[in-house]
Amino acid sequence: YTSPEGQRYYVNSCSKDVAVFNNVQFIICLSSANGRHCSTKTCQPAEIADVALRKPPTNKQASLQPRGGCLTRGSDCINCVTFPLPGEGPEQQLLKPNEWSYCDYFWADKKDPQGTTSVAGFEVLLQKQLKGKQMQKEMAEFIHERIKIEEEYAKNLSKLSLSPLALQEEGTLGEAWTQLKKSLHDEAEVHLKFSNKLHTEVEKPLLTFRGDNFKKDLKKYDHHIADLRKQLMSRYAGVEKARKALADRQKDLEVKTQQLEIKLSNKTEEDIKKARRKSTQAGDDLMRCVDLYNQTQCKWFEEMVTTSMELEKLEVERIEWIQQHLRQYTTLRHETDMFNQSMVEPVDQLLQNVDPSKDRELWVKENKTSEVRPVDMDI
């Protein structure tokens, strides 16, 4: 950190002791609306000019204390990932404002429903993809059941159209009845064609969209991000180890310095210098570990953005694909209704032409026995 007077120093997060150095290695991590850009500037190897064990920092300095062990100004480490403290530093801008993009909302881990374990934000995105695949499969199963109903319906209509019931009806009513039976046969054909088109134009596309390789691709994404996360955990462990080593070296230096001051030991100034060099080396090691941690986190950050946006693209494609083929379902359904309506129209027309007097005329002409009426008998 830098004091109000411009003096650079380290803060031991355990003991709250402060060590002042001439030069430091520092990390610049910038989050912007266009993404996160990480760069590292390394000064010459640090030489200790003076090490003073001071009182704990003031309240202003204490507000900049690291939490969870991470040595990043105004930051907090959660599950080995560094997040800014609330209210610390400039406000972060979303990478894709007003889009509710995956790349902006899944950085932290999520507790499972039982609250016992954490699920990585990226894992939530993968589960969404797998759920989408399952929903797509269930939609295809639904359409398949619809096809079976249509096929059974077509079969029953065709069978009914061949029924001999009322076959002997005559006249204009007989013609209408015959047309009605014929319309059942035609309607059966329409529903059979509808079921076939449902299979080829709706069910099959839903089943074949993203086959078995899709899950393998998701596993590749999962393994890649998981590996980066493991590397990040390893780097974090390295920072913690180096931080502890620095604290031990500082403590050793403090003890030797105090012993020298009160003449309780035969330690010489050379011993103090040696302890200072070890403390300096421990500080350099810590800075290198922090540098490696930040580089790894930067890489993880970049891959998270890239991969989450790829998953977002896949989800958009899935929804649009399903929308397209469900719209095809409604189109086929409307066509079926129109065909059925066209088959019913001749029946309607013939029913309108049914004429009881005409039927009587036709029947009489065909079945009359004689037009001669009986007369009285003559004596």
Handedness of CA 300, 306, 310, 316 (dihedral sign): positive
**How confident is the model at residue 69, as a pLDDT?**
40
Residue 332 has pLDDT above 90, yes or no: yes
Task: State which of 70-74, 252-256, 353-357, 367-371 shows the largest mean pLDDT.
Answer: 353-357
For the segment 330-354, the average pLDDT, to the nearest whole number, is 91
User: For residue range 201-212, what is the model confidence (pLDDT) as tens digits?
Assistant: 999 999 999 888
Neighbouring CB atoms inside 10 A of 311's CB total 19
For the segment 227-243, the average pLDDT, to the nearest whole number, is 96
CA-wise closest residue to 307 among 210, 209, 219, 208: 219
Neighbouring CB atoms inside 10 A of 140's CB total 19
Q: Out of 97-101, 228-232, 263-267, pick the least confident.
A: 263-267
Tokens of 236: 């974090």
User: For residue range 269-321, what is the model confidence (pLDDT) as tens digits?
Assistant: 788 888 899 999 999 999 999 999 999 999 999 999 999 999 999 999 999 99
Start-to-end CA span in the chain (Å): 148
Count of alpha carbons within 13 angstroms of residue 348, beta-carbon side: 6
What are the chain's domains? 9-367 (1.20.1270.60)
pLDDT band at 57 (very low <50, low <70, confident <90, very high): very low
pLDDT band at 14 (very low <50, low <70, confident <90, very high): low
Determine contact, residues 235/292, Cβ cutoff 8 Å. Answer: yes
User: For residue range 28-48, what is the model confidence (pLDDT) as tens digits?
Assistant: 232 333 334 444 333 333 332
CA distance 54 to 21: 14
Which residues make Cβ contacts (< 8 Å) with residue 142, sequence separation at least 6? Answer: none
CA distance 340 to 43: 83
Residue 6 has pLDDT above 70, yes or no: no
Neighbouring CB atoms inside 10 A of 258's CB total 12
CA distance 20 to 3: 10
Give me the residues paired with residue 11 across strands: 18
**How confident is the model at residue 13, as a pLDDT?**
59
DSSP 203: I
Give me the residues paired with residue 118 across strands: 111
User: For residue range 16-25, what is the model confidence (pLDDT) as tens digits?
Assistant: 555 554 332 3
CA-wise closest residue to 313 among 92, 123, 98, 132: 132
DSSP 209: S
Residue 238 has pLDDT above 80, yes or no: yes
Determine contact, residues 307/225, Cβ cutoff 8 Å. Answer: yes
Tokens of 156: 């029953």
Helix (H, G, I), strand (E, B) or coil at 37: strand
Q: In 3-state terms, the chain is what percent helix, strand and coil (to 5)?
A: 60, 10, 30
DSSP 286: H
Round the average pLDDT of the chain to a whole number and report it: 82
CA distance 257 to 277: 14
Residue 128 has pLDDT above 60, yes or no: yes
**How confident is the model at residue 2, as a pLDDT?**
60
**How confident is the model at residue 9, as a pLDDT?**
62
Q: Which residue has the tokens 């009587």?
A: 360
**How confident is the model at residue 25, as a pLDDT?**
31
pLDDT band at 331 (very low <50, low <70, confident <90, very high): very high
* Integer CA distances (angstroms), 192 to 183, 246, 317, 337, 346, in order: 14, 80, 31, 13, 21
CA distance 277 to 270: 10
Burial (0-12, 13-18, 19+ Cβ within 10 Å), 101:
middle
Q: What's the maximum distance between 2 C-alpha atoms anywhere in the chain?
A: 175
CA distance 64 to 15: 15
Q: Out of 36-50, 78-92, 227-241, pick the least confident.
A: 36-50
CA distance 148 to 145: 5
* Integer CA distances (angstroms), 374 to 133, 369, 370, in order: 87, 13, 10
DSSP 96: S
Total residue count of the chain as it appears in this document: 379
For the segment 329-335, the average pLDDT, to the nearest whole number, is 95
